[in-house]
A and B are shown apart, each in its own frame.
Chain A
Amino acid sequence: MQDTTLLQMRHINKVFPGVKALSDVDFTLRKGEIHALMGENGAGKSTLIKILTGVYGMDGGEIIVEGMNVSIHSPQDAQNKGISTVYQEITLCPNLTVAENMFIGREESTLVRHKFYEKRADEILEKLGIPARAAQQLGSCSLAVQQMVAIARAVDMECKVLILDEPTSSLDDKEVNMLFNLMRDLKKQGVGIIFVTHFLEQVYEVCDRITVLRNGELVGEYLIEDLPQVDLVAKMIGKELDELSDFGQIEEKQYDSKDIFYEAESLSSSDAMPFDFCIHKGEVNGFTGLLGSGRSESVRAIFGADKVTGGTVKIKGEDVKITKPVDAMKHGIGYLAEDRKRDGIIAELSVRENIILALQVMKGFFKPISRSEAEAFADEYIKVLNIKTASRETPVGSLSGGNQQKVILARWLLTHPDYLILDEPTRGIDVGTKLEIQKLVLKLAEDGVSVTFISSEVEEMLRTCSRLIVMRDRHVVGELKGQDLNQAQVMKTIAGGETQNEG
């Protein structure tokens, strides 16, 4: 037992100004094990990882690697001690070759011996079964392969501990499987892998053990077979287990044609092919399809986010022109963009300023919301949506992903929209917040707000939407409602009607 222990973190404490990020957390990693580190956003996962990789110093506790007490001062230091990290975002250079990426920054001599490195890189790639050639430009590989190259780089640096921080969030199923095979190979070679992810199914597919954190405290360490998925979720959120099953089947509502809030006929934009679409008052519907099927592009066309090139739009039966976001906003449409960092938050501005932004734009340039009013709005929505922030003046960029998403939701809710478009509102955020957002969507619909909901997780859409529009290759290929709203039917429609094996 003692022999197999690779890494031990004991009584780790970390205090940030005003917050106790970690208190007395233990973590143990054994040789040849894949260990999931689970917890909601803000539970302390990333803090623990950052302490282990030397990004943060710790305020108490000890780290023991292979029986030796070590202190880690920097990421470079961690790497030298055999602890490597592969992050969610690729941190390699796409314009260099695979081999160059694998050896950059660690050439022994100043002369780069291309041939030698390419040969070595090819050996490693072959050994690990990574489908890439050393001389290939990294940018020409798929994201999954790029991720695997990053792992290969880490492995070649004699890493004993490999940390994978959300490696699968931008990969499709096939690519995820490739990655998992690689992880299993490494496991056989005795590497200890720490796997951080939001996808529960993936945890159960590859992991041996789970450590759960909540609010900076250790909940426990479990063998995978001892902890069914439902219990894991309960441990992570620590409450509301019953509420998980709280979502009943969505009953099919009958809509009158005069209840139509928004209607588009052959609407098209620079990025979206012409499509027809309508939504009723108080209805929740969704666009589904694979990445790149055009679902985001379609909703962006509704909001006027891209250049609208054709089609007619009616709101409450009246012809309107929506060519830019502000037009849509004036007609009561809100749009939560898919890419939170790029299109959502204004990172350096405060939570307060981020919340009032859309309302301020609608009020106009010459009618600024007073400071006290803005503070009241911010306080209200921080409370309503349970946004975890040190204060309303905290820069939104320093919040966790789920809380950033809530801030943007607050921004749109504050405008009291009639129609809210949510593009992947739950991507990359924790289970607890996901549930909160789903509930919020249903509550909005009850209050008469129309909602279009997009998610990569079909299950989530089945729980919230009463009608699904299915897209493939940038065209609408089907519309599902009532009895047809089930996983198998959705998959079938996405795949093109032919019977699927797993159907």
Chain B
Amino acid sequence: MKDKFQKIFKGGLGQLTIPIVAILFLVGFNLIRDPSFFSIETTLNNNGNMVLAGNLISIINGASELAVLAMGMTLVTAACGGQDISVGAAAAIAGSAFVKILKSSPNITGFTVVAAFLFACVVAMLFGAFNGTLVSVFKIQPMIATLILYTCGRSIAYWINGGATPTVSSPIINAIGSFIPGVPIPTPVLIVAAVAIIFVLVFHFTSLGLFTQSVGINGSAARLNGINSTFIKLLSFIILGLCVAVAGTIGVSRLGLINHETLLLDIEMDAILAVAIGGNSLGGGKFKISGSIIGAYVIQMLTITLYAMKVPSTDVKAYKAIVIILLVVIGSPVIKSKFQKYIAKIKSNRQRVSMKGAE
């Protein structure tokens, strides 16, 4: 037991150190500030279900779309060494596509919802493939390539539903956006868990992880080892497309309507930030999806903490920026190597003392 702990302490955490420390710091800060921040209670919601409520629940629930996007963004970052800034706009397209199918049938059944979701997936994957082709085949820098969809995405979303912001009211949609009757945990949280499990399975049953990292670290060597790096990059964008469809569906279901102007607005920057807080290099290469997921919850917890402190919503972004500067600086290579040197010094001192003791 002790050995295991030591092993983890010695560097098993590695990349996850920063996001975990950030979470612990926020938890500690809130514990001192107001322990009731963490209270979880069960309440009756509008539909008469017993459900869990509290700040913690709203953090985990609220970060769902971000967490899903951060997972896909991690993969794109690792393979291409750049980020997709069009995920917010693409989610609006996916959401509009989702609503389009729902609206086309007179009453919303389970079947229509599934069909609508699949349609949204296909649409989002096509747009992902568009981005991916620009990046992998035409070798355009990811940020420039995705700037195109970032710029025009919400207009496309607007066209899909003829400029309206249609509402969808259905118990099924409501169940996706909030709670399934009889289940006290918010559905988006369950969806994030499902997506995470799918990622784990994909990494287990394919070589996606190894190939993506190889392409991201040394594309030339990867190619000479027979890896089709164009395909791997394209694939990462298509997988991100799936994540976009899931995020868009959650977003639409939460509100029960599609507003192409505001759905998941500015989420691309938070998604990139989550990847960075997760300790992943934005230059590509080695990655840990778990880091990005924790990163997403760090961002959301920060937001909710600020709201709980009654910080006016207009000021929240400024305070958020301060904390993020701290996180990014602490995670920077300069500070890291300083810290490692310090640890090494302590260790060698200790060694010297024990050597002397042995003499």
- Interface pair B344/A368, CB less than 8 Å apart: no
Set B218, B222, B347: member contacting A347, Cβ < 8 A: B218
In the complex, B337 has a CB within 8 A of chain A: no
Q: Using an 8 Å CB-CB cutoff, how does the interface string of A346-365 with B read, 1 for contact, 0 for none?
A: 11110001001110111011
In the complex, B208 has a CB within 8 A of chain A: yes
Query: Which of the candidate stretches A118-126, A335-343, A439-447 sits at the interface with the other chain?
Result: A335-343
Which residues of A have CB within 8 Å of B222?
Answer: 346
- Interface pair B226/A325, CB less than 8 Å apart: yes
Q: A59-B348, A346-B213, A349-B213 are in contact. Are A368 and B207 (CB under 8 A)?
A: yes
- Interface pair B218/A358, CB less than 8 Å apart: no
In the complex, B262 has a CB within 8 A of chain A: no
Q: Using an 8 Å CB-CB cutoff, how does the interface string of A472-485 with B read, 1 for contact, 0 for none?
A: 00000000000000
A346, A347, A361: which has the most chain B beta carbons within 10 Å? A346
Set A325, A344, A348, A365: member contacting B207, Cβ < 8 A: A365
- Interface pair B221/A343, CB less than 8 Å apart: yes
Q: A346-B213, A348-B286, A349-B286 are in contact. Are A325 and B220 (CB under 8 A)?
A: no
Residue of B nearest to A366 (CB): B206
Q: Using an 8 Å CB-CB cutoff, how does the interface string of B195-222 with A read, 1 for contact, 0 for none?
A: 0000000001111101101100110111
In the complex, A159 has a CB within 8 A of chain B: no
Q: Using an 8 Å CB-CB cutoff, how does the interface string of A308-341 with B read, 1 for contact, 0 for none?
A: 0000000000000000111001000001010000
- Interface pair A349/B226, CB less than 8 Å apart: no
Residue of A nearest to B214 (CB): A346
In the complex, A161 has a CB within 8 A of chain B: no
- Interface pair A368/B226, CB less than 8 Å apart: no
In the complex, A228 has a CB within 8 A of chain B: no
Set A326, A345, A348: member contacting B285, Cβ < 8 A: A348
- Interface pair A343/B220, CB less than 8 Å apart: yes
Set A348, A364, A368: member contacting B210, Cβ < 8 A: A368
- Interface pair A344/B221, CB less than 8 Å apart: yes
In the complex, A72 has a CB within 8 A of chain B: no
In the complex, B225 has a CB within 8 A of chain A: yes
User: Nearest Cβ distance between residue A170 and chain B, in whole angstroms?
Assistant: 19
In the complex, B228 has a CB within 8 A of chain A: yes
Q: A17-B344, A365-B206, A365-B208 are in contact. Are A337 and B217 (CB under 8 A)?
A: no
Residue of A nearest to B281 (CB): A348
- Interface pair A360/B224, CB less than 8 Å apart: no
Q: How many angstroms between the C-alpha atoms of A329 and B223 in the bound complex?
A: 12
Q: A326-B226, A347-B218, A360-B210 are in contact. Are A15 and B348 (CB under 8 A)?
A: yes
User: Nearest Cβ distance between residue B183 and chain A, in whole angstroms?
Assistant: 34
Considering only residues 102-120 of chain B, those with a C-beta below 8 Å from chain A are none
- Interface pair B226/A329, CB less than 8 Å apart: yes
Q: How many angstroms between the C-alpha atoms of A78 and B54 in the bound complex?
A: 60
Chain B interfacial residues counted at CB < 8 A: 26
User: Nearest Cβ distance between residue B139 and chain A, in whole angstroms?
Assistant: 16
Which residues of B have CB within 8 Å of A364?
Answer: 207
- Of the four ranges (under 10, 10 to 19, 20 to 34, 35 or more), the interface on chain A belongs to 20 to 34
In the complex, A451 has a CB within 8 A of chain B: no
Which residues of A have CB within 8 Å of B214?
Answer: 346, 349, 357
User: Nearest Cβ distance between residue A28 and chain B, in whole angstroms?
Assistant: 27
In the complex, B27 has a CB within 8 A of chain A: no
- Interface pair B210/A353, CB less than 8 Å apart: yes
Q: How many angstroms between the C-alpha atoms of A337 and B227 in the bound complex?
A: 15
Which residues of B have CB within 8 Å of A358?
Answer: 225-226
Which residues of B have CB within 8 Å of A284?
Answer: none
Considering only residues 426-443 of chain A, those with a C-beta below 8 Å from chain B are none
- Interface pair B225/A345, CB less than 8 Å apart: no
Which residues of B have CB within 8 Å of A362?
Answer: 226
Q: How many angstroms between the C-alpha atoms of A305 and B205 in the bound complex?
A: 29
Considering only residues 356-403 of chain A, those with a C-beta below 8 Å from chain B are 356-358, 360-362, 364-368
- Interface pair A343/B224, CB less than 8 Å apart: yes
User: Nearest Cβ distance between residue A146 and chain B, in whole angstroms?
Assistant: 24
Which residues of A have CB within 8 Å of B218?
Answer: 342, 345-347
User: Nearest Cβ distance between residue A362 and chain B, in whole angstroms?
Assistant: 7
Q: How many angstroms between the C-alpha atoms of A344 and B219 in the bound complex?
A: 10
User: Nearest Cβ distance between residue A5 and chain B, in whole angstroms?
Assistant: 30
- Interface pair B224/A337, CB less than 8 Å apart: yes
A15, A365, A366: which has the most chain B beta carbons within 10 Å? A365
Q: Using an 8 Å CB-CB cutoff, how does the interface string of B339-359 with A read, 1 for contact, 0 for none?
A: 000001001100100000000
Considering only residues 319-349 of chain B, those with a C-beta below 8 Å from chain A are 344, 347-348
User: Nearest Cβ distance between residue A325 and chain B, in whole angstroms?
Assistant: 5
Which residues of B have CB within 8 Å of A324?
Answer: 226
Which residues of B have CB within 8 Å of A366?
Answer: 205-207
Q: How many angstroms between the C-alpha atoms of A303 and B204 in the bound complex?
A: 31
Set B208, B224, B351: member contacting A325, Cβ < 8 A: B224
Which residues of A have CB within 8 Å of B351?
Answer: 15
Which residues of A have CB within 8 Å of B285?
Answer: 348
- Interface pair A305/B224, CB less than 8 Å apart: yes
- Interface pair A365/B211, CB less than 8 Å apart: yes
- Interface pair B217/A342, CB less than 8 Å apart: no
Set A335, A346, A360: member contacting B217, Cβ < 8 A: A346
Which residues of A have CB within 8 Å of B286?
Answer: 348-349
20 chain-A/chain-B pairs, Cβ below 8 angstroms:
A325-B223, A326-B227, A337-B221, A337-B224, A344-B221, A345-B218, A346-B213, A346-B217, A346-B221, A349-B210, A349-B286, A356-B210, A357-B225, A358-B225, A361-B226, A362-B226, A365-B206, A366-B205, A366-B207, A367-B207
User: Which are the 9 A-B pairs with shortest beta-carbon distances?
Assistant: A326-B226, A361-B226, A368-B207, A325-B226, A329-B226, A346-B217, A346-B214, A346-B218, A358-B225
Residues of B at under 8 Å CB distance from A? 204-208, 210-211, 213-214, 217-218, 220-228, 285-286, 344, 347-348, 351
Beyond A15-B351, A335-B224, 16 additional contacts (C-beta under 8 Å) are: A326-B226, A326-B228, A337-B221, A342-B218, A343-B220, A344-B221, A344-B224, A345-B221, A346-B214, A347-B217, A349-B214, A349-B217, A353-B210, A357-B214, A358-B225, A364-B207
